[in-house]
Amino acid sequence: MALHLNLLHEEISQQRQRQRDPLKIGMMVLGAIGTLMILYYMWNAYKTLEIRNRFSAIQHDWSKVEPKVTSAQKRSAELNGIISTIKVLDGMIDSRFYWAPFLEKLSRCVALNAQVTSVDGTVLEDNKGVSVMIEGLAAGREPRAAAEELRQLLLEQLGQSYREVKVEFKTLEDLDTLVKIGGDNMAMARFGLSVTFTTAPSTAKAAPAPAPERVRAPKP
């Protein structure tokens, strides 16, 4: 068997030592990992660029649509405002009390032997009811009966259009004065009627002007 003499033993050992240098190996590992990281980063950057392109396209679409949407939203808000305002205004219009039909009914109730000298009416808070004070004179053989007839007629007539109608005498007193009706002297009575009622929405509609034929000019 041939004898081999390794005369470069130390040099070879040093070379092996250098090859096993941990720093060198570490650097190589670091380099490999770094390369992988860069590749991963580039892949991510590519994906991000793709997303950015999509983003730009959608943003472009939105910028075209946005003014229309904004104006549509503004218009919708305006229309909703108008609708709600109209609802409230219509409610106010529908719930208001119409005096003309009331005056018409009153004029129809006043007989020839009665005379209204004063009407003072007030619509109560939030149109919940109406309160009217009617003063006048009644003449006849039984002037109190004439006043009562007016009260009954008012109750009946107003009851057809309004709810919770109350017609009550506040005052009813005989007067000493006589009045001549149809050539006969008649006794007179002064009356004060308190009328209260609430309005029925379905019937409280504006009516034509009152019929003037039965209305007589009141005396002072």
Partner 1 sequence: MKKLNLTKDQIQKLALSSMGFVVLLYVYFSFFLGPLNKSRDSMLATIDDLQRKVAGSKNEMMKATNLEQAAGAATTRFAALKALSPEGAPIAWFPPRMKIFFANQQIDKTTARLENSSPFREPELANWMRYTWSLDLPQTDFATTGKAIAVLENSEPLLSITHLNLHAVADDPQFQQVSLTAMTAIVKR
Vertex 100 angle, CA 99 and 104, to 5°: 120
- Residue 14 beta carbon to partner 1: minimum distance, rounded to whole angstroms: 13
**37 part of the interface to partner 1, by CB under 8 A:** yes
**x/- binding map, residues 129-168, to partner 1, per CB under 8 A?**
----------------------------------------
CA distance 102 to 45: 85
CA distance 154 to 165: 9
Q: Return the residues of window 81-120 that contact partner 1 according to CB under 8 A.
A: 81-89, 92-93, 96-100, 103-104, 107, 116-120
**72 part of the interface to partner 1, by CB under 8 A:** yes
Percentages helix, strand, coil for the chain (3-state, rounded to 5) are 55, 25, 20
Q: Return the residues of window 17-36 that contact partner 1 according to CB under 8 A.
A: 21-23, 26-27, 29-30, 33-34
**55 part of the interface to partner 1, by CB under 8 A:** yes
- Residue 99 beta carbon to partner 1: minimum distance, rounded to whole angstroms: 5
What is the b/e burial string over 177-210, where b = at least 16 CB atoms within 10 angstroms of the residue's CB?
A: eebeeeeeebbbbbbbbebbbebeeeebeeeeeb
**Residue number with CB closer to partner 1 (85 or 171):** 85
- Residue 202 beta carbon to partner 1: minimum distance, rounded to whole angstroms: 17
Token readout for 13 is 């050992």
**Residue number with CB closer to partner 1 (58 or 145):** 58
